[in-house]
Amino acid sequence: MIYINSTEIIKEIKLLKNEKNIEGMARYGINSHNNYGVSVSTLRQMGKKIGKNHDLAIELWGSGIHDARLLATIIGEPDKLTVEQAEKMVSEVD
């Protein structure tokens, strides 16, 4: 699938929901709220298809969805990240 925007990506994340992974993550203290249990390897594959995209990474982070935020760290462009954006992101980490 070719991902065009954050709405399509989040829709795909929701389709890939894995309850077993969510339960496993909870055992390690990862909050199950807004978590769809998509594996990191799957998110990396999605990231390869998407490519680096700062604006899209910021949108995905803003969704508050755990999986989308992980994907945002994969596709983000650190050299474009402002101090303000980084501070906001850090303040939102659970």
User: What are the residues whose beta carbons fall under 8 Å from the beta carbon of 54, sequence distance 6 or more?
Assistant: 76, 77, 80, 81
Tens place of pLDDT per residue across the chain (94 aa): 677 899 999 999 999 999 999 999 999 888 888 999 999 999 999 999 999 999 999 999 999 999 999 999 999 999 999 999 999 999 998 7
Count how many Cα atoms sit within 13 Å of the Cα of residue 31 in the half-sphere of its side chain.
9
Stated length of the chain: 94
Instruction: Output the CA–CA distances (angstroms, integers) from residue 83 to 4, 31, 41, 50, in the order listed.
Output: 27, 26, 29, 24
